[in-house]
């Protein structure tokens, strides 16, 4: 029995295997919802899934005519999506605990992949859905880039922001907190001075949840659609931008992988960026 939960632990669930499939989805909706380069989902028969707690604490956002994107209303984490008509449960792999008995089988929607992310493994790639799905893809409208400005928004588009100039650094974190809060293999974040960041609309819709036992770890999300949003830390004078929320191409690429000793067992790092088992050295 595989167990999982959201970042704050309010929403909890379990599923028994074996899983039917596991794919990395690069569509703009998954990137927005999870705030990550891509979302990894596993599927299982719906009869093998059950909620343990928190089912009444969900944000259910109708992202398209095909269904909802579900998140915890306390911390914003992506949670499983049930598809009764298809007899399936789709689960974000990031929060799942233990050996899943499966590894990613393909990349889908690479036609709308983030420009700042490069696929470096040898898995099959599909521009949209694989042919056997028999469905076309869904796309969000593109945003015209402005010189020196990087823009982003939530899934429902009611929250938007911009940052000026170049980030201090950009990195991909594999710690358990990041995997649980993003519901993904890892989190890729950009770090700016707080003065470089500003909300352009919808700041009042942004919710925040700070992990009680953590010094800084906080999740920020749109309370309407659950999408991961930037968090501004006044005490550190820093804005942390989840790269999956971006609408335009940033002036930097991820420079390193950190906390790789906590990496998901089903994910393999195949790019050439430096890897640090724990936090990177100062400076």
CATH topology of domain 2-133: 2.170.150
Token pair for 254: 């991820």
Do the domains 2-133 and 149-262 sit in the same CATH topology, yes or no?
A: yes
Structural contact between residues 258 and 279, judged by C-beta atoms closer than 8 angstroms = yes
Sign of the CA dihedral running 113, 117, 120, 123: negative
Strand locations in 28-87, DSSP E?
39-45, 49-53, 58-64, 67-72, 81-83
| Positions in the chain short of pLDDT 50 | 134
Residue 267's pLDDT is 97
Say how many C-beta atoms besides its own lie within 10 A of residue 217's C-beta. Answer: 16
Distance CA 158, CA 192 (A): 22
Q: What was the pLDDT predicted at 283? A: 65
The CATH number assigned to the domain with range 149-262 reads: 2.170.150.70
Q: Domain map of the chain by residue range? A: 2-133, 149-262
Q: Which of 144, 196, 195, 142 is nearest to 165 (CA)?
A: 196
- Residue 15 in contact with residue 7, Cβ under 8 Å? no
Place of tokens 């004078």: 237
CA distance readout (Å), 205 to 126, 184, 200, 220, 224: 35, 23, 12, 10, 7
The answer to whether 220 and 204 have CB atoms below 8 angstroms apart is: no
pLDDT reported for residue 134: 47
Phi, psi values for residue 137, rounded to 5°:
-85, 170
pLDDT digit string (tens) for 178-232? 999 999 999 999 999 999 999 999 999 999 999 888 777 889 999 999 999 999 9
Partners of residue 169 on adjacent β-strands: 191
Per-residue pLDDT at 64: 74
The helix (H) or strand (E) run that includes residue 150 is strand 149-153
- pLDDT digits over 20-44, tens only? 999 999 999 999 999 999 999 999 9
């Amino acid at each position: 029995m595989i167990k999982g939960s959201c970042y704050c632990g309010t929403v909890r669930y379990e599923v028994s295997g074996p899983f039917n499939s596991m794919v990395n989805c690069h569509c703009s909706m998954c990137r927005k919802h999870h705030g990550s380069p891509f979302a990894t989902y596993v599927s299982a028969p719906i009869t093998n899934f059950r909620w343990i707690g928190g089912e009444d604490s969900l944000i259910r956002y109708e992202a398209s005519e095909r269904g909802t994107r579900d998140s915890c209303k306390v911390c914003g984490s992506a949670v499983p999506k049930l598809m009764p008509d298809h007899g399936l449960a789709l689960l974000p792999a990031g929060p799942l605990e233990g050996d899943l008995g499966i590894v990613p089988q393909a990349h889908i929607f690479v036609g709308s992949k983030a420009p700042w992310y490069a696929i470096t493994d040898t898995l099959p790639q599909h521009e949209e859905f694989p042919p056997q799905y028999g469905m076309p893809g869904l796309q969000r409208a593109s945003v015209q880039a402005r010189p020196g400005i990087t823009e982003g928004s939530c899934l429902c588009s009611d929250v938007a922001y911009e940052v000026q100039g170049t980030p201090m650094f950009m990195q991909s974190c594999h710690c358990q907190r990041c995997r649980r809060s993003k519901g993904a293999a890892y989190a890729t974040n950009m770090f700016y001075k707080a003065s470089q960041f500003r909300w352009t609309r919808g700041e009042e819709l942004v919710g925040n949840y700070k992990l009680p036992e953590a010094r800084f770890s906080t999740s920020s999300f749109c309370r309407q659609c659950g999408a991961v949003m930037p968090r501004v830390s006044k005490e550190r004078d820093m804005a942390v931008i989840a790269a999956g929320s971006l609408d335009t191409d940033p002036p930097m690429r991820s420079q390193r992988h950190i906390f790789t000793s906590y990496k998901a067992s089903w994910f393999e790092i195949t790019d050439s960026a430096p890897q640090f088992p724990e936090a990177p050295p100062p400076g």
